[in-house]
Structure 1
Amino acid sequence: MNEKERVVVGYDGSDAAGKAVQWAAMQAHRSGCLLNVVHCSLWPVITHNMGPVPGIAGSGLRHAAESIVSDGVALAREVSADTQIATSLVYGWPAENLRKLAATASLLVVGTRGAQGFSGLLIGSVSLELASTAACPVAVVGGSERPHGPVVVGVADEGWEATLRYAANFASLVHAVLKIVHVHRHHAFHHDAFYEAGVAEKRALLDSASRSVRNTWPGLEVQDHLLQGTSVAGALVGAAGDAQVVVVGSSAQGTLSGSFGSTAHAVLHHAGCPVIVVRHPPA
């Protein structure tokens, strides 16, 4: 057990959060980390009467919140019976509480709670806020489960080292192929010579990224793909069609317009698998 490492997961009793708990439990098991199941109750914001109804055993808002925590632990035990689990029942806004509890964690895991019927609104506001403000990497768990798929990571022109290291370590833990993707944006007005010069530069970057991984994780199977497209996010989501997880980097400082990287934002909304956002300081 790595007692210094924790995987924190938020659980509110929903099906989406239950899926996140089980995904988090599996990652904690693989990495030998403590799993911290957290439930954030908003009831004290509305009422101070949290106690049981007189004469009715097992009633009351506090008991209901405690039951949600117990249910979260039970879900985690279904996939990992021997993982050490801690629980936290806190009161107040979920994003604020989870951000504080995960300040020193190795990973924060949340589910999707967006409006599933509307394109572009697949990620709930709490998940989006945490992905752009939490101090640690954040996994937003949704989409299909593909346990045998590759781990796909997008590398940008700069600042990709930490994202790549995280993805390579994750792929090593889950015994998956690491698929490194770089997208060379190409517009119709680009001159052919200009574009070809850019291809050589991007190929060199991708070769450097692949070589770095192979030197550090010599037993890891690595594939690299240089893709062309007008949308980095669109090409990355397309490349992750069979992935078990996609890892993206972001220099996000908040959820205000323009402060959360457009690529990370779009991948979170449209990827068909869990997404891990690894934040790094802006260049």
Structure 2
Amino acid sequence: MGFDGSPASATAVRWAARQALLRKADLAVIHCSMWPAVTHDLAPVPGIADSGLRHAAEAVLAEGAVIARDESPDVAVSTVLKYGWPAVLLRDASAGADMLVVGSRGIGGFMGLLVGSVSLELAATADCPVAVIRETEHPGGAVVVGIDALRFGSAPASKRLWEEVARQACVLATLTESPLQIVYVQPRHGVWHRSTAPTGPHRPEDLLEDIARTVRRWSPALEVSTRILAGTSAAGTLLEASRAAGTVVVGTHGHGVVRASVGSTAHAVLHHAQCPVLVVRPAGAAAGD
């Protein structure tokens, strides 16, 4: 869990603490300070109590731990202070983790973009699912899984991806006792470019039934529904469908730091969704998958 002291990251810490409690997992609160890139003088100012850049970073980290413990007193919370670029340090910390949680902390209000560069980069590079948390939440809302024709086909890499996306969404919905809605988005009247057409022998209905059957096998008591929607944009259609969602889950094959490497649909959903977003990549994802 990355914490920088902002209101957005405080919301993310609370969400992470609740998830840790439900998953019976420990929570590591990580603060990344970039002050050493500016100055090596992190010590206190002589004669001024509680001063110095190192103390300031430690105070931010302590605040994050307090927020987490207040939210979920039964969760074991540890703290980690790192120095350097947050996207790199948090990516390294994601190795072996069940989930990496960050706040949106974007430039909200400008062109509707709500995700900062660090969160976007981590969604493309982390070694585990990345939850980007909004300050806007919809308690009781469904967990919505977005599947679009461009990203999901019958190839082995696509199957691995949708299975992992479905698994992560199933766990989230089961733990929060939320309904799970699987949404397949296809082009309306062939308006997407020909190269985005779905491949493989399965109709959307068959794919959705496969996913729903798998999810019900994993969690028999879970309320599962499926929808096939048509639109001029996969991202726009999914965003409309998830307007009242508790969480929206999207998959990406991407691995990299440029915009295209997280996938255009995931990129747009991260920027414009009005609820927490969970971005999932298949285990061992690499460039060109």
Q: TM-score, normalised by structure 2?
A: 0.89
Does the 8 Å contact 1:155/1:163 carry over to 2? no
Aligned residue runs from structure 1 range 121-270, under 5 A: 121-156=113-148, 157-158=152-153, 159=158, 160-187=162-189, 201-270=203-272
Q: Distance in 2 between matches of 1:227 and 1:189?
A: 14
The reply to whether residue 61 of structure 1 matches residue 53 of structure 2 is yes
Aligned residue runs from structure 1 range 75-114, under 5 A: 75-114=67-106
After TM superposition, give the deviation of residue 155 of structure 1 in Å: 2.5
Aligned to 2:39: 47
The superposition leaves residues 126-181 of structure 1 with CA deviations (integer Å, 9 ceiling, x where unpaired) of: 00000001010000111521121110111243321110111011111111100111
More strand by share: 1
Q: Distance in 2 between matches of 1:259 and 1:216?
A: 30
Q: Distance in 1 between matches of 2:59 and 2:228?
A: 49
Structure 1 residue runs of 4+, over 4 Å off?
none
After TM superposition, give the deviation of residue 122 of structure 1 in Å: 1.5
The superposition leaves residues 14-73 of structure 1 with CA deviations (integer Å, 9 ceiling, x where unpaired) of: 111111111111111110111000000111111111111111111111111111011001
Q: Report the CA distance shift for 1:257/1:150 in structure 2 as closer, same or farther (over 3 A).
A: closer
Does the 8 Å contact 2:69/2:77 carry over to 1? no
Does the 8 Å contact 2:113/2:272 carry over to 1? no
Q: Distance in 1 between matches of 2:209 and 2:132?
A: 29
After TM superposition, give the deviation of residue 119 of structure 1 in Å: 1.7
Structure 2 gaps of 5+ residues are none
After TM superposition, give the deviation of residue 120 of structure 1 in Å: 4.3
Structure 1 gaps of 5+ residues are 1-8
The reply to whether residue 25 of structure 1 matches residue 27 of structure 2 is no
What percentage of residue pairs aligned between the two structures are identical? Answer: 51
In angstroms, what is the RMSD of aligned CA positions?
1.8
Q: Report the CA distance shift for 1:260/1:167 in structure 2 as closer, same or farther (over 3 A).
A: same
After TM superposition, give the deviation of residue 103 of structure 1 in Å: 1.0
Q: Report the CA distance shift for 1:143/1:62 in structure 2 as closer, same or farther (over 3 A).
A: closer
Q: Report the CA distance shift for 1:189/1:122 in structure 2 as closer, same or farther (over 3 A).
A: closer
Q: Distance in 2 between matches of 1:133 and 1:225?
A: 30
After TM superposition, give the deviation of residue 94 of structure 1 in Å: 0.5
Q: Which of the numbers 26, 32, 36 marks the counterpart of 1:34?
A: 26
Does the 8 Å contact 1:151/1:247 carry over to 2? yes
Q: Report the CA distance shift for 1:189/1:152 in structure 2 as closer, same or farther (over 3 A).
A: closer
Aligned to 1:3: none
After TM superposition, give the deviation of residue 239 of structure 1 in Å: 1.0
Q: Distance in 2 between matches of 1:40 and 1:257?
A: 23
Q: Which amino acid aligns with 2:113?
A: L
Does the 8 Å contact 1:138/1:276 carry over to 2? yes
Q: Report the CA distance shift for 1:132/1:28 in structure 2 as closer, same or farther (over 3 A).
A: same
Q: Which amino acid aligns with 1:263?
A: T
